[in-house]
A and B are shown apart, each in its own frame.
Chain A
Amino acid sequence: MITEALKKKLKEIFGESNFLDSPEHRIAYSYDGTALLGALPDAILIPTNVEQLSRLMKLANEERFAVIPRGSGTGLSGGSIPSENSVIILMNKWDKIIQIDPDNLTAWVEPGVITGRFQSQVESMKFFYPPDPGSSQICTIGGNVAENAGGLRGLKYGVTKNYVLGFEAVMPNGDVMHIGGKNTKDVAGYNLKDVLVGSEGTLCVFTKILLKLIPIPSASKTFLAFYDSIGRAAETVSAIISARIMPAMLEFLDNPTIRAVEDFSHLGMDKNSGAVLLIEVDGPRAVVDEDASAIAQICKSAGAVTVRAATDNAEAARLKAARKSAFAALARIRPTTILEDVTVPRSEVPVMVDFINETAKKHAVQIGTFGHAGDGNLHPTGLTDERDKKEIEKVKEVFRKLFAKAVELGGTITGEHGVGLAKKAFLEELYDSPYIELLKTTKRMLDPNLILNPGKIISVEPRCEGALPRSREQIEKATRNMDNPSEAYF
């Protein structure tokens, strides 16, 4: 518990109006975009400068409370869910684009800048920032960097870490550290940047981020290709890659997802299609034209029923926006959508997709699958109702099998959402122990008192986080009543 004396100290650091602990505020910061997870923080702090954060970390080490950084709360692995005895720091108000440097193709931003806003800003200057998560309209750059977010353009352009040149961060001991810079080449020291990018808010809080920009492709073309079956769509994906074409986007939706998305976005997609591919190629006009006609041909040869090109940029934007709505649109079918994030090597996508469907069928659960077919990152989404506990158990069982299969195929349990709380158990179960031990050692070394977003990714020591109970007593009580107490995965 945050004591009265501690509250007073926090108010001294942050000011009366930037310390919030009403039940309403605490409830509103008890969740993020992840299904079934939630816990109340003890207080919410709105920092206005780096020094406050530094002082907060020092105080947290003295008084032993947890600090949970949060942007827009769109994460899908429970990365910003509070833990026991914690305060939330709200970074979404740090939303300035500090500098766009056309000579060095870089931009300094504050962590709370909305990704979509940043993209439009740089695009208006004919630059390009490719990482494009599904939640780009609301997620923050800071969150993207913390989770090493992927998105729709990962296939050709890579993910967030490929665009982070450097940053300023507050470390768990309160030190303010600077890393990287505008240099294209820089090998001074260990590559710690890549340790911190994707550290899911457990190793540092980003306070200023330096991003790499690239020139915007001069042309692009977007298609939809509809198929009777998922199999033929998967064949198309392999055929496109084998033809040495690198689309900017190669996304797929299965039938349940098509139905849900069409109900929301009214794009005129045939709701009986077995699968659809959303494909975008970009680059110089001549290349785009050549790739586009080759792709249209490949789609048809692989058995596409129809191939439709967007007539203009506005329609292309609508198609992409509709694809981005897939996750939430699936909630039209069943209210609780447990979105997963398994990734396999590209060539294994057809195998994985088959396995997902078979396993769902065998366990009689509904799964809608969509994802980034081009980079092997799939989002099988359990369609359930959180009020039906038995069904939730069944879905969990199915996901356990999917994760194991993905790892067996040389894939991974998360391609872009991070481990957070949701995947923690699987990480420790499915990966070798030297790796897990190194993760734990790194965490202990940088954050010996476990104050920064503790209990995420790995358990360094038993803690009380995860599903709803938030105090040790509650957990103990729950443990006594539960047959299988270790299952706080979701």
Chain B
Amino acid sequence: MTPRIPDDLLTQCMHCGLCLPVCPTYALTGMEKSSPRGRIRLMKSVMEGALPVSHEFAEEMNFCLDCQACETACPAGVKYGELVESARVLVDENRPLTLKKFILRYIVSKRPVLKFVAGLLRVYQISGIEKGVLVLLRKLSSNLYARALLMPRISRRSARATLPETIESQGNSRGTVAVLTGCVMDVFYSDINVDTVEVLVRNNWKVVIPRKQVCCGSLSGHYGDSELPKRLARENIKVFEETGALYYVINSAGCGAFMKGYASLLSDDPEFSQKAARFSSKVLDFSEFLFKTGYEIPQRAIGKKTVYHEACHLVHSQKVSKEPNAIVSQLAGTNICELNESTWCCGSAGIYNIVRYEDAAKLLERKMENIIASGAEIVITGNPGCLAQIDAGIKQRGLPLKVVHPATVLNRLYKSEEI
């Protein structure tokens, strides 16, 4: 068997245990095999042929949220994200089609199908059927009711359908930037895409939203699909390159992390390796972009107690923390509050909160307790998964709280609208 989990990466782990205290799944079980160090040891055993790709091994690889908090904590520089993702490829090859695989492979990464499903869901939501279902579920099962709350509102129209492909800057153009509208973002949160574009235009950027852009590939990549993400990456590289943009601005932490990783994803591809490296170097998170290039400070600050929840794929994968924190602090002024464990995963983790609802719910509980303790009225976070998860937490508890994306906050402050 050719080793598919690179031995060099596995050997890098010297099992010191410093990853244990930051690992959400280890915190849930207290069991070594649910820790990064334990999982790496299991992977090593599989690669050495001492352990088959067993059901328990597969469970453990999928129990991991891939939040990569362990990477931030690891002094030895172990690339755990790469390890667990390659382990999932191994698992994927050894397992039949699962619900997760089906959702990722046949719905999320195929735009027409995604659009169709989103259409059905929207009918379900606005026709009143959902309301009825929720009333019923509330009576029947609090568990199912809580799960149903995870579904955010489907946006009326996707930003890609409403916005033109090219939008001129408001004043003298500082250059062209391209924007990824994303799959989940555009289905559930197309307003955030509109806000992103409006903020960029207001800061004198010409914006291109490439029509032919495809899913970034992150969801399927994180869940062990080996080929699909590469295909999607090559497609996006071509499409974005054609725009001639200076930067590619990404407002989903998960997408940004994955697109920054196109360089290593395609490093073995003779035709694309260089292009991918160039592409990845142009990818910036929305907050990173604003911090780097400067932005107009709104006249008024956020008028409510505000906290910033650090999305795993921003803080741990992309190591982008200083920038959004600085921006949020600036926007909130004296209303900024400290969020305990702000870098601890909320449990969203792609579709983890759907496929592993119970575990995700426990993490959400911990996150909500911290948010409540902070006294916040506004939670700001830069990832659609976190937005949906924390929003569900707010709804379940009936809290007078809002969770919003930084682009929305900034745009509303510019327009002096209510947040």
Chain A contact residues, CB within 8 Å of chain B: 22-25, 27-33, 35, 72-74, 90, 92-93, 114, 116, 135, 137-139, 260-261, 263-265, 325-332, 335-337, 385-387
Contacts and interface: CB of A to CB of B under 8 A. Distances in A.
B399 interface: no
A137 B17 CA distance: 10
A28 B17 contact: no
6 contacts: A23-B54, A24-B51, A27-B45, A28-B41, A90-B30, A328-B14
A325 B75 contact: yes
Contacts of B51: 23-24, 27
Given A27-B50, A329-B76, A35 B20 contact: no
Contacts of A74: 16-17
Contacts of B54: 23-24
B75 A73 contact: no
Contact of B16 (A22, A29, A328): A328
B31 interface: yes
Given A331-B12, A331-B14, A385-B11, A92 B30 contact: yes
Contacts of B20: 72, 138
Interface of B: 7-8, 11-12, 14-18, 20-21, 30-33, 35, 38, 41-42, 45, 50-51, 54, 56-57, 60, 74-77
A138 B14 contact: no
Contacts of A24: 33, 42, 51, 54, 56-57, 60
Contacts of A22: 56
A380 to B, nearest CB: 16
Most buried by B among A261, A331, A332, A385: A331
Contact of A73 (B17, B42, B56): B17
Given A24-B56, A335-B11, A73 B21 contact: no
Contacts of A23: 45, 51, 54, 56
Most buried by B among A24, A29, A261, A264: A24
Contacts of B57: 24
Given A28-B42, A264-B75, A337 B11 contact: no
Contacts of B41: 27-28, 30-31
Contacts of B35: 28
B17 A138 contact: yes
A35 B12 CA distance: 12
A135 B18 contact: yes
Contacts of A28: 31-33, 35, 38, 41-42
Nearest to B38: A28
A314 to B, nearest CB: 12
A29 B32 contact: yes
A32 B32 CA distance: 10
Contacts of A332: 75-77
A261 B75 CA distance: 8
A35 B14 contact: yes
Given A24-B60, A27-B50, A28-B33, A328 B45 contact: no
Most buried by B among A74, A92, A138, A263: A138
Most buried by A among B14, B20, B45, B51: B14
A114 B75 contact: no
A135 B16 CA distance: 8
A288 to B, nearest CB: 28
B56 A138 contact: no
B75 A331 contact: yes
A264 B77 contact: yes
Contact of B77 (A33, A331, A337): A331
A261 B42 CA distance: 28
B14 A337 contact: yes
A57 B226 CA distance: 50
A263 B57 CA distance: 33
Contact of B18 (A27, A328, A330): A328
Contact of B12 (A31, A135, A137, A335): A335
B76 A331 contact: yes
Given A27-B41, A93-B30, A329-B75, 15 more contacts: A23-B54, A23-B56, A33-B15, A72-B17, A135-B18, A138-B18, A264-B75, A325-B18, A327-B16, A327-B75, A328-B16, A328-B76, A331-B76, A332-B75, A335-B11
Contacts of A329: 75-76
Most buried by A among B12, B33, B35: B33
B71 to A, nearest CB: 11
A32 B14 CA distance: 10
Contact of B15 (A31, A90, A325): A31
A29 B35 CA distance: 12
Contacts of A27: 33, 41-42, 45, 50-51
Contacts of A30: 41
A337 B12 CA distance: 10
A28 B20 CA distance: 13
A324 to B, nearest CB: 8
A430 B9 CA distance: 38
A135 B75 contact: no
A33 B12 contact: no
Contacts of A327: 16, 75
Given A328-B14, A335-B11, A337-B14, A25 B33 contact: yes
A329 B18 CA distance: 11
Contacts of B15: 31-33
A420 B32 CA distance: 21
A23 B48 CA distance: 14
Nearest to A76: B16
A135 B30 contact: no
Nearest to B45: A27
Contacts of B21: 114, 116, 137-138
Contact of A135 (B8, B17, B31, B45): B17
Closest 8 CB pairs of A and B: A331-B76, A328-B75, A325-B75, A28-B33, A329-B75, A28-B32, A28-B38, A74-B17
A135 B73 CA distance: 12
B308 to A, nearest CB: 18
Nearest to A137: B21
A214 B104 CA distance: 57
Contacts of A261: 75
Nearest to A327: B16
Contacts of B12: 331, 335
Nearest to B59: A24
A385 B8 CA distance: 10
A336 B16 contact: no
Contact of B14 (A263, A265, A336): A336
A264 B12 CA distance: 14
Contacts of B56: 22-24
Contacts of B32: 25, 28-29, 73
A386 B15 CA distance: 13
Most buried by A among B8, B15, B60, B74: B15
A147 B31 CA distance: 22
